[in-house]
Structure 1
């Protein structure tokens, strides 16, 4: 599809559907969000050099911004300052008290500076043109530093860039009867840190929902979407601090703190707090699990929501730091759905 004809389609669709978001328009037009953005090159969109680690190290200079990470069915928005930014061989980290990210940079393939009706942002995409992470300026941000960063990281060639699709990630495919369930259950019960869980899945060649089904007795329980809502409502009423994880293949974003204003709108379950917003499509949630993972600090409980393909949508923990036991307030909230 030629970019010029796509631009015409995009503008016509927006005119007829002014409330539609670009991701939804892209799906309707059967193109990627990045392709739609590039129809604005030379007007309100600038391609950035693929030096994203260098750029991210300087995001702190923008001051107070809004970080947005999403997957197909959940949007996680957190306001604050990017702090303690570092990159290692496996992942990047942003470890401020407000903006808390895990970055998997091999998936970051294109980036753009976007000015959408004076709403300025930096947006990053994978090889399929699917959004990985977005950074929006707020009225408390430093627009001059934004202009400086965009000028420094602006790509010399502002022609449309070809997308290089990422291969679909291989998923474990061993049937249940080929898995050493007894050894897996023993290894689960011997976990000493929740971060060991991913390695456990790889070791036994399990996908996540399969692991939850085969877990040792008492470590997992399938619950309902209403149970999830009840937990969120009780966290709000009791002001029990939580950790809310939402991610995609290139970024995981974490909110640590309270959830207060909960609003249901059509199929969406929302948290609408001043510093944190969550938008969760409840009709896409195929299963909800309460999961217990042993650790050196005692058992750690989480709620995990999955779509019909077994992909994680959102994960919820009680607020905690390594070396500290799980909060009693979180356990009390979970006990109310038992």
Structure 2
């Protein structure tokens, strides 16, 4: 039963549009949740009424997004939203993953999760929105006043699907994988972890040992992975802002990871949210959904890569924060990490 008392099977596209017309102020994600819908179902219901179903693969989509110029890139998971202004330059395709490596828009894309996509016009607002097979948002592009609207129109014309339906077929949502650990392999994990030369070797290592990221952290323990107090994430952001320490923030979901590199300026907590509110970068983090935080040390050929990583109660990764090597300040970042509160004790 939906929140308004309507049985889900009676929520036809026409009724969804009617309900949406009556409740324009609620964010699309929240509106969909209120009515027992996937967000993609809400957008699909607008096809022919401001929305156009388009090809979703990034190889087709991203080069045309680039032509729109300065836009806002948005990626989210259940507990965090990252928004970055910029241009989608330097796109790289690949068999298993794709990348955008612009100076402002920096993405890691996993195209198998880019299943449904729409170009949406709502009055003067225009956006491109991509969803996975379950109808959850993977990545969104919002046009800003500086964006090229004619390029948006060209994208719609080039990528519109032959069949435009206001209904969408979805698959069940994949469950978040809980921490997977094998304490009997602790010494092997620690030994091979210490021999890494690149942080990208880490996930291959834990997969080989039949663990996952969070499970490996719990097994390895300090000094490789140190449990931290949840408020340390807010403390890190506030310290980096006040002391002008550059950082890299990674926020993602199964289909897209968006990265901010450089300084942050304004950290503004509001209720359960920790917000970074800068002119070309915003972060919105649900402080109350942070269940575990780990200080992680991974060796590389360029020295240790240290990060603060937050997880939700289900074991899902919320965000990772590293030093920004290209912007300097690594020593300052690492010193700041040492000053953060450990779980069950002080720094």
Identify whether the pair has TM-score above 0.5, normalized to the shorter chain.
Answer: yes
The 8 Å contact of residues 51 and 153 in structure 1, kept in 2 or not, is answered as no
1:209: how far off? 1.6
The 8 Å contact of residues 297 and 325 in structure 1, kept in 2 or not, is answered as no
Equivalent residue for 2:59? 53
2:160 to 146, 151, 154: 154
In 2, distance between residues paired with 1:100 and 1:285? Answer: 24
1:183: how far off? 0.7
1:333 to 332, 336, 344: 336
The 8 Å contact of residues 320 and 327 in structure 1, kept in 2 or not, is answered as yes
The 8 Å contact of residues 191 and 294 in structure 1, kept in 2 or not, is answered as yes
Q: Which runs of 5+ in 2 are unaligned?
A: 1-7, 341-346
1:266: how far off? 0.9
In 1, distance between residues paired with 2:237 and 2:307? Answer: 12
1:29: how far off? 1.2
Equivalent residue for 2:343? none
Equivalent residue for 1:109? 115
Equivalent residue for 1:314? 319
The 8 Å contact of residues 219 and 293 in structure 1, kept in 2 or not, is answered as yes
- 2:30 pairs with 1:24: yes
Deviations 1:177-234 (A, max 9, x none): 4x41111110111111111111112111112221111115311211122222111111
The 8 Å contact of residues 172 and 205 in structure 1, kept in 2 or not, is answered as no
Change (3 A) 1:95 1:292: same
In 2, distance between residues paired with 1:169 and 1:201? Answer: 20
Report the TM-score when normalising by structure 2: 0.90
1:77 to 68, 79, 83: 83
The 8 Å contact of residues 298 and 326 in structure 1, kept in 2 or not, is answered as no
In 2, distance between residues paired with 1:232 and 1:58? Answer: 34
Equivalent residue for 1:12? 19
Equivalent residue for 1:236? 241
Secondary structure, aligned partner of 1:58: helix
1:251 to 242, 256, 269: 256
1:176: how far off? 3.2
1:169: how far off? 6.6
Deviations 1:250-308 (A, max 9, x none): 00000001111111111110000011100011111111111111111111110000001
- 2:177 pairs with 1:205: no
Change (3 A) 1:224 1:117: farther
1:86: how far off? 1.2
CA RMSD of aligned residues (A): 2.2
Secondary structure, aligned partner of 2:33: helix
* Alignment size in residue pairs: 334
Moved more, 269-278 or 149-158: 149-158
